[in-house]
Chains A and B, each alone.
Chain A
Amino acid sequence: MPKQEKWELRLYVAGQTTNSMLALKNITKYCKHHLEGRYVIEVIDLLKNPQLAEGDQIFAIPTLVRKVPEPLRKIIGDLSNEEKVLVGLNIRPVAD
Chain B
Amino acid sequence: MLKIKQEKLHKTPTGISGLDEITNGGFPMGRPVLICGSAGCGKTLFAAQFLIKGITDYNEPGVFMSFEESASDLTQNFKSLGFDFEKLQAEKKLSIDHVRIERTEIEETGEYDLEGLFIRLNYAIDTIGAKRVVLDTIESLFSGMENVALLRSEIRRLFTWLKEKGVTAIITGERGESSLTRQGLEEYVSDCVILLDFRVIEQIATRRLRIVKYRGSTHGTNEYPFIIDEDGISVLPVTSLKLDYKSSTEIISTGLPLLDKAFTTGGIYRGSSTLITGTAGTSKTILASHFALSSCMRKERTLYFSFEESPDQLVRNMATIGIDFEQAIQSKMLHIHASRPSLLGLEMHLMVLNRLLTELNPRTVIIDPISSLISIGNSSEVGAMLVRLMDTLKINQINALFTSLAHEGYSEHSNSTIDLVSSLADTWLNLKNEERNSQRVRSLFIVKSRGMGHSNNQQDFTITDKGIHFTTPNKK
Contact = CB atoms under 8 A, between A and B. Distances in A.
Interface of A: 12, 14, 17-19, 22-23, 46-47, 50-51, 53-54, 57-63, 71-81, 84-85, 87-88
A83 to B, nearest CB: 9
A37 to B, nearest CB: 25
B120 A75 contact: no
A18 to B, nearest CB: 8
A53 B112 contact: no
A19 B111 contact: yes
A46 B110 contact: no
Contact of A73 (B97, B107, B110, B114): B107
Given A77-B110, A78-B110, A80-B110, A46 B105 contact: no
Contacts of A74: 105-107
A51 B123 CA distance: 7
B112 A77 contact: yes
Contact of A12 (B99, B107, B116, B141): B116
Contacts of B201: none
Interface residues of B, number: 24
Contacts of A73: 105, 107
A74 B114 CA distance: 15
Contacts of A60: 112-117, 145
A27 to B, nearest CB: 11
Of B97, B99, B116, B122, most A-chain CB atoms within 10 Å: B116
A26 to B, nearest CB: 8
B109 interface: yes
30 contacts: A17-B115, A19-B113, A22-B110, A47-B119, A50-B123, A51-B123, A53-B119, A57-B100, A57-B101, A59-B120, A59-B141, A60-B114, A61-B113, A61-B114, A61-B119, A73-B107, A74-B105, A75-B108, A76-B109, A77-B110, A77-B111, A77-B112, A78-B110, A78-B112, A79-B109, A80-B109, A81-B109, A81-B110, A84-B107, A85-B109
Nearest to B151: A60
Contacts of B105: 71-74
Interface of B: 97, 99-102, 105-117, 119-120, 122-123, 141, 145
B111 A61 contact: no
Prevailing SS type, chain B contact patch = mixed
A80 B106 CA distance: 15
A50 B120 contact: yes
Q: Which of A53, A77, A79, A84: most chain B CB closer than 10 A?
A: A53
Nearest to A19: B111
A4 B396 CA distance: 81
Contacts of A77: 108-112
Nearest to B67: A59
A82 B185 CA distance: 34
Contacts of A50: 119-120, 122-123
A19 B107 contact: no
B107 A57 contact: no
B108 A59 contact: no
A17 B119 CA distance: 15
Nearest to B117: A59
B107 A14 contact: no
Contact of B109 (A12, A58, A59, A84): A84
B119 A46 contact: yes
Nearest to A58: B116
A81 B112 CA distance: 13
Contacts of A14: 115-116, 119
Contacts of A63: 112, 116
Contacts of B109: 75-81, 84-85, 88
A79 B110 contact: yes
A3 to B, nearest CB: 24
A89 to B, nearest CB: 8
Contacts of B117: 59-60
A61 B115 contact: yes
Nearest to A85: B109
B60 to A, nearest CB: 22
